[in-house]
Amino acid sequence: MRELEPGDPQRLGDHEVLGVLGTGGFGRVYIARAPHGKWLAVKLLHPQLMRAAPDLPERFAAVMGDLTRVRNLGAGRIVQWDADDIRPWYARRHVPGASLLDVLAVCGALPQAAGRIVAGVARGLAAMHDAELPHGAVSPGNVLLTTTTAQLVDGGLLRMFDPGAPLLGAGLAAPEEPDGTRAADIYALGALLVLCVRGRLPSGPKDVDELPERLATVATALLDPDPASRPTAAETAAEL
Supply the pLDDT for residue 188: 95
169 inside domain? yes
Supply the pLDDT for residue 224: 96
pTM above 0.95, yes or no: no
Phi, psi of 25 (to 5 degrees): -70, -20
What integer is the mean pLDDT of 70-87? 83
Rg of the chain taking only CA atoms, in angstroms: 18
Supply the pLDDT for residue 167: 55
What integer is the mean pLDDT of 188-214? 94
3 inside domain? no
The answer on pLDDT for 179 being more than 70 is no
What integer is the mean pLDDT of 192-203? 95
| Whether 45 and 109 share a structural domain | no
| Whether 15 and 120 share a structural domain | no
What integer is the mean pLDDT of 216-240? 97
133 inside domain? yes
6 inside domain? no
What integer is the mean pLDDT of 122-141? 92
Query: Domain tally for the chain?
Result: 2
pLDDT band of 35, cuts 50, 70, 90: very high
The answer on pLDDT for 178 being more than 80 is no
The CATH number given to whatever domain includes residue 51 is 3.30.200.20
| Whether 69 and 86 share a structural domain | yes
How far apart CA 77 and CA 219 sit, in angstroms, is 27
| Whether 232 and 216 share a structural domain | yes
| Whether 111 and 89 share a structural domain | no
Supply the pLDDT for residue 161: 61
Domain boundary among 65, 93, 121: 93
pLDDT band of 191, cuts 50, 70, 90: very high
172 inside domain? yes
First to last CA, the chain: 33
Span 50-61, pLDDT tens digits: 777 778 888 889
Structural domain for 148, as ranges: 98-239
How far apart CA 222 and CA 138 sit, in angstroms, is 13
What integer is the mean pLDDT of 227-237? 97
| Whether 110 and 172 share a structural domain | yes
| Better-scored residue on pLDDT, 33 or 181 | 33
| Whether 214 and 186 share a structural domain | yes
Supply the pLDDT for residue 47: 84
What integer is the mean pLDDT of 117-146? 93
Conformation bin of residue 156: beta by default, left when phi > 0, alpha when psi is -120 to 50: left
2 inside domain? no
The answer on pLDDT for 166 being more than 60 is no
pLDDT band of 89, cuts 50, 70, 90: very high
Q: Residue 221 in contact with residue 211, Cβ under 8 Å?
A: no
Domain boundary among 48, 75, 93: 93
pLDDT band of 33, cuts 50, 70, 90: very high
Span 59-77, pLDDT tens digits: 889 889 888 888 777 878 8
Cβ contacts of 48 within 8 Å, gap of 6 or more: none
| Whether 115 and 61 share a structural domain | no
| Whether 44 and 159 share a structural domain | no
How far apart CA 226 and CA 57 sit, in angstroms, is 36
Proportion of the chain above pLDDT 70, given as a percent: 94
Domain boundary among 62, 78, 93: 93
| Whether 142 and 167 share a structural domain | yes
| Whether 106 and 87 share a structural domain | no
